[in-house]
Structure 1
Amino acid sequence: MADKLKTQREVNGLFELSDAARKNLEGNLYYNDDLAPTKLEERSWTTYNIASLWVGMSVCIPTYMMASGLMAAGLSWWQAILNIALANLIVLVPMQLNSHAGTKYGIPYPVFARLAFGVKGAHIAAIARAIVAAGWFGIQTWIGGGALDAVIASLSPAWAAWAGSIWISFFIFWALNVWIAYLGPDAIKFMQSWGAPILGVLSVALMVWAITAVNAAGSSVGAILNLPATYAPGTFWRVFLPGLTANIAFWSTLALNIPDFSRYAKTQRDQFMGQLLGLPTTMAAFAFVGVFVTGATVIVYGEALWDPVAVVANINSPLATILGAAGIAIATLTTNIAANVVAPANGISNLNPRKITYGMGALITGFAGVAMMPWRLLATAGAYLFDWLGVYGNFLGPLAGMYVADYYLYRKKVLDLDDLFKGEQSRYWYGNGVNMKAVYTWLISLALPVLGLPRLLGGTNNFFRFFGENGWLVGFILALLIYPALMKNETDSLISEEVEEQITERVKS
């Protein structure tokens, strides 16, 4: 690898491409403005912006459904909250670790994935993440469309009686999501900043309704908190462990592509504190709203309504229905765009940076979300929790472990930004643009979790069941161990201190 001159600048521990390097990369097959590292002046997100991002993403209907779905599966309210809190503390670890590269080097997820998988091999990881995101996009859009349909139906009896109304509402909400996502990061930042307070009001309003409705039914708040678990004797772990895996999987997607957002943070402290304050606290708080309101529906309606749109639709007040459904739509919008469009849009752009922009990737994601048929994924609590979340978590856990091992254990957090956007002359090219050792790590690490999926082997009583029920964590740990072992003798992609000094201009602010 030939020595190079000053292709990157470092100011207070943050790196950017030099102007000369950017100019030389223009027209390169693996470079465009959307994938390029953010400039230092573009990194403007503070702790508040990062925390608001997580409030906006966490206060969403799937979070509510996670908690209420666990209750529907048989857990008590406190067991459901414990499950969710534990899962978020676990997934916060790789999320914080993978955020570091985004803030330090300003790179998005598809470029970050080039480190381990190679310049071309990163397509594998980026598209794996994109497929999951497209499914989530469809789920969130279906939920938001249902909320919009509830608003219109409360104003128009004719609309309520029309069987096709849900589809019109779905595509209207779909178009709104795609339009805002198409506008890019600044629009997302603005939306999250004003959306967070509104979501707080929505949470309080749901709690007030639950308390009022329970009291009107001649019961009390204590009755909600005293609702017993309903799982069969001796089956606690059969519900708790798959639920834990599902809850970890819930944000396992962001544990991978968190550099897509941390690349805009002003400092490492901003991204660290923003996530610490925004994710686990908000998830636990809104999960409690979910279990509390679901418990109230058991008392008020005689059954657990795990879908908040159904709860709002059952409230005998047009004004309350309108406000509640509008709040659900806003909650869905703030989550959907940030969590489910940015990653696949960047991943799709990475397939052909010279021809596919971020905006085009956002449009493709929108159409893919419809193709995933979200109405089927949300048919039951079981389909949502254990089929959708549980299965894809098994595939993403090894990726998170591999990235942590690659960045911290193998590279010691030292990168060559310029080489991340080059072809065969890049130190990250490996063989044919693909690091097969990363592919092998992924396949080996997900083998046990996948074999433990109940439907794969035709039942639940098999030796691999434990690995399937804890698939994300098992895969994460295996990849964390396997990747460094396979890469032990692979030194061509590493940067020595001498080379780093040759390519980096140190600037004191």
Structure 2
Amino acid sequence: MSTSLASHVMEDVKLPNDATVVESLKPKSKNGRTVGAISYMFMWIGDGVNLGNMTLGASLVVAGTATLNIFQTFVAALIAIGIITIVFVLNDRLGYRTGIPYVVQLRMSFGIKGSIISSFLRGIPGIIWYGFQSWIGGTALNEIVKVISGGSFDNIVICFLAIQLMQIVLSMYGFHAIKWVEILASVVIMLALIYVFGVLMQSHSDVIVEKWVHSEGSWGLPFFAFIMMFLGNYAAIFLSAADYSRELKSGISDVKRGFLYFSPILIAYGFVLTIGAMLASATGISNPVKAFAIVVDNPYITVGVSVFIVLGAIAVNVVANIVPPAYVITLVTKLKYKASVTVVGLLALCSFPWILVKDSSAKGLGIFILIYSAFLGPIVSILLVEYYVLRKQKIHVADLYKEDGPFAGYNPCAIIAMLIGAGAAFVKVEIGWFLGFIAAGIAYILLMKFAFKDSNFKKGTVFEK
């Protein structure tokens, strides 16, 4: 059974009768998909409108001066969003057609055992981002309680623990638990940010113009490094694109799915980056929540904005940072979904997010993104080469679930190509995602053609004897 060549046509995959698969890892049937195009678009707006992305904008400001001016920032963002959209549409297609999650898609290239290694490389950044978003949400929750208590309460750690517990409980109800909260949060947060934008323009425009707009900036390495950081920020998400597209209703073409990615990311990310850079320019503080409290010198408005920040942190975690790592935990431990999301939530408590972003600099966040994306770029390259070049979009999906089938064990070609790509990425980490992506793709084709002649992973590819 092979997938249809029409990108919007789905198939209901039947697994072998003897297959023992945890329910959450089984292919999604057409009837099991409940997310429509509008909800899907708002989901990505909700994912983009968050303080992590705002902090990335703030990272442009170092020692009080922006490394890129406003024009360079937007050009870099447009280039990155265009690449993100293309990779999303290419990599979400298998999940959209067949309903399989990312951890099963990995078996196509890495094998059933090999996929465990590569799935951890997606799961770990998700857990750390989960902890980081929760820390930002906890910081905002602390601002709320501080205002309500008249300053008698001020403990970010307790608020961090509280918001994490709330998210663990909420995530137990599944991917669609807060679909309407996503829509509401994204709209309301955007309105709140428009207000903050107005305040910044009214009272801090001179310093923003000096520090960011008229900054000399650079079209050199910092410009390309920001594109790579932007890509790295989404590297984990579009790598596991199948986890999202398998929830999307049928009949949506590649072009329309591309629109469902490009538009919300452009709107949300573009605006949030701008606010982050403006806040850092105006205050010199890289933590957006603390910068908000300085710029919006009104306790009631601070509470309102902080509420929306908390909602945004929860929304982005449910979309991007809980489900993929939970699938990894399920794959490795065979735990059911509710138990897996609980484990993910507890692990996120140990991610030490306060180290990534300090008041004076968000450089730690940028370094973290560049390092993990050095591995994720090669993995997505291998998946795309496998599906489009070697298999011509034809895959017997049921074989991916057979423990003793053609994808049993691990594929040494994929493991070696991933390491080659990561090695290339670390040669120049500022543009590591691009270097790793190219190097791994070329290495994988050459290894599959010339190495390991008797490998079962050549079956069904253009290199099958």
C-alpha contact (below 8 Å) 2:425/2:434 kept by paired residues: no
Of the candidates 366, 372, 388, which is equivalent to residue 345 of structure 2?
366
Q: Following superposition of structure 1 onto structure 2, how do residues 27-426 of structure 1 map, counting pairs within 5 Å?
A: 28=20, 31-72=21-62, 74-160=67-153, 162=154, 165-214=155-204, 223=209, 227-229=213-215, 237-266=220-249, 267-269=251-253, 271-295=257-281, 297=282, 303-314=283-294, 315-353=296-334, 356-379=335-358, 381-424=361-404, 426=405
| Structure-1 separation of matches of 2:208 and 2:356 | 34
User: Which whole-Å CA distance do the structure 2 matches of 1:147 and 1:191 have between them?
Assistant: 18
For structure 1, which runs of at least 5 residues remain unmatched after alignment?
1-5, 298-302, 453-466, 498-509
Q: Could you tell me whether the CA contact under 8 Å between 2:212 and 2:278 is conserved in 1?
A: no
| Cα pair 1:67 1:84 within 8 Å, conserved | no
Distance 1:22 1:319, change over 3 A: farther
Cα distance change of structure 1 residues 492 and 375 upon mapping to structure 2, 3 Å threshold: closer
Could you tell me the TM-score, scaled by structure 2's length? 0.89
The RMSD of aligned alpha carbons is: 2.6
Query: Does residue 484 of structure 1 match 2:445?
Result: yes
Q: What secondary structure, in the 3-state scheme, does the structure 2 residue paired with 1:413 have?
A: coil
Q: Distance in 1 between matches of 2:429 and 2:59?
A: 19
Going from structure 1 to structure 2, the CA distance change for 1:22 and 1:209 (only over 3 Å counts) comes to farther
**Residues 84 and 492 of structure 1: CA distance in aligned 2, closer, same or farther (over 3 Å):** closer
TM-score if structure 1 supplies the norm length? 0.82
State the Cα deviation string for residues 360-409 of structure 1 (Å, max 9, x = none).
22111112212121111112535334321111111211011111101111
Query: Would you say the 8 A contact 2:3–2:393 is kept in 1?
Result: no
Change (3 A) 1:212 1:350: same
Size of the aligned set, in residue pairs, is 449
Structure 2, unpaired ranges of 5+: none
Residue 327 of structure 1 and its aligned partner are, at CA, apart by 1.4
Matched letter for residue 402 of structure 1: I
CA contact (8 A) 1:129 1:253 kept: yes
How far apart are residue 176 of structure 1 and its match?
1.6
SS of equivalent to 2:176:
helix
Give 1:224 shift. 6.4
Looking at structure 2, the residues matched to 146 and 205 of structure 1 have their Cα atoms a distance apart, in angstroms, of 20
Shift of the alpha carbon at 1:208? 2.1
The 1:81/1:304 distance shift into structure 2, 3 A limit, reads farther
Compared CA separation, residues 82 and 496, structure 1 to 2 (3 A): closer
* Matched letter for residue 397 of structure 1: G
Task: Give me the identity figure in percent.
Answer: 22
| 2:407 corresponds to 1:446 | no
CA shift, 1:140, in A, is 0.5
Asked if the contact 1:77–1:225 (Cα under 8 Å) also holds between the matched residues in 2, the reply is no
